[in-house]
Chain A
Amino acid sequence: MTATDATEPGTGPADDTSTDVAPAHRHPKAHQRAGRLGRWIDSRTGIARVGRGALNKVFPNHWSFLLGEIALYSFVVLLLTGIYLTLFFDADSTGMTTYDGSYGPMQGVQVSEAYNSALEISFDVKGGLLVRQIHHWAALVFVGAIVLHLCRVFFTGAFRRPRELNWVVGCTLFMLAVVNGFAGYSLLDDQLSGTGLRIGYSVLISIPVIGPWLGSLIFGGNFPGDDVIARLYPIHILVVPLLIIAMLTVHLTVLIRHKHTHFPGKGARDDNVVGERLWPTYVFKAGALFFCVFGALALLGGIAQINPVWLYGPFRAEDVSSASQPDWYMGWLEGALRLMPGWETRIAGFTIPNPFYAGVVPAAIVFGGLYAWPWIERRVTKDHAEHHVLDRPRDVPWRTAIGVGVLAFTGVLGFAGSDDVLVVTFGLSVNQAVWFFRVALFALPVISGFVAYRLCIELQRRDGPPPLPTVPVPDTETDGSAGTQDPALVGDAGGGQRHDGSDPADA
Chain B
Amino acid sequence: MRSSRHLVLVALAAVALAVGVVQGTAGAGESGGAGDTTSGTSQADLVAAGEQLFLTSCISCHGVDGVGTPNGPPLTAAGEANADFMLRTGRMPMASSDVQPPDKPVAYTDTEIRQLVAYVGSLGDGPPIPQLDLDAADVTNGGQLFRANCAPCHNASGIGGALSYGRHAPSLQETGLEQVAEAMRVGPGQMPRFGPDVLTDQEVNDIVAYVDYLQNPDDPGGLNLGYTGPVAEGFVALVIGLGALMLVIRWITRERRAAGAREGAPDA
Contact = CB atoms under 8 A, between A and B. Distances in A.
28 contacts: A62-B253, A63-B250, A66-B252, A67-B249, A104-B139, A105-B143, A133-B222, A144-B241, A144-B242, A191-B151, A192-B230, A265-B267, A265-B268, A266-B265, A293-B245, A300-B241, A302-B222, A305-B221, A307-B230, A312-B156, A316-B148, A318-B148, A320-B151, A328-B234, A328-B235, A421-B162, A429-B99, A431-B165
Interface of B: 99, 139-140, 143-144, 147-148, 151-157, 159-166, 168-169, 210, 213-214, 217, 219-225, 227-231, 233-238, 240-242, 244-246, 248-250, 252-253, 256-257, 259-260, 263-268
Interface residues of A, number: 81
A319 B148 CA distance: 5
A72 B114 CA distance: 64
A292 interface: yes
B224 to A, nearest CB: 5
Nearest to B144: A109
Contact of B164 (A263, A320, A431): A431
A129 B221 contact: yes
Contacts of A289: 248-249, 252
Interface string A154-167: 00000000000000
Contacts of B245: 70, 141, 145, 292-293, 296
A308 B230 CA distance: 10
A242 interface: no
B237 A328 contact: yes
Interface string A292-311: 11001100101111111001
A307 B230 CA distance: 7
A304 B236 contact: yes
A316 B220 CA distance: 24
Interface in A355-386: none
B164 to A, nearest CB: 6
Given A105-B210, A140-B241, A305-B225, A331 B151 contact: no
Given A141-B238, A319-B148, A319-B151, 14 more contacts: A66-B252, A66-B253, A105-B213, A129-B220, A136-B233, A266-B260, A288-B252, A289-B248, A296-B241, A311-B156, A319-B152, A323-B155, A420-B161, A485-B263
Given A141-B241, A265-B266, A420-B161, A304 B225 contact: yes
A463 B205 CA distance: 71
Interface string A79-99: 000000000000000000000
Contact of B221 (A62, A69, A133, A263): A133
Contacts of B233: 136, 140, 306-307, 327-328
Contacts of A325: 229-231
B265 A292 contact: no
A415 to B, nearest CB: 10
Contacts of A320: 151-152
Nearest to B260: A266
B157 to A, nearest CB: 5
A394 interface: no
A215 interface: no
B235 to A, nearest CB: 8
Contact of A322 (B169, B230, B242): B169
Interface string A473-507: 00000000110111001000000000000000000
B221 A304 contact: yes
Contact of A63 (B147, B153, B227, B249): B249
A137 interface: yes
A302 B253 CA distance: 28
Nearest to B248: A292
Contacts of A486: 259
Given A67-B249, A481-B265, A423 B162 contact: yes
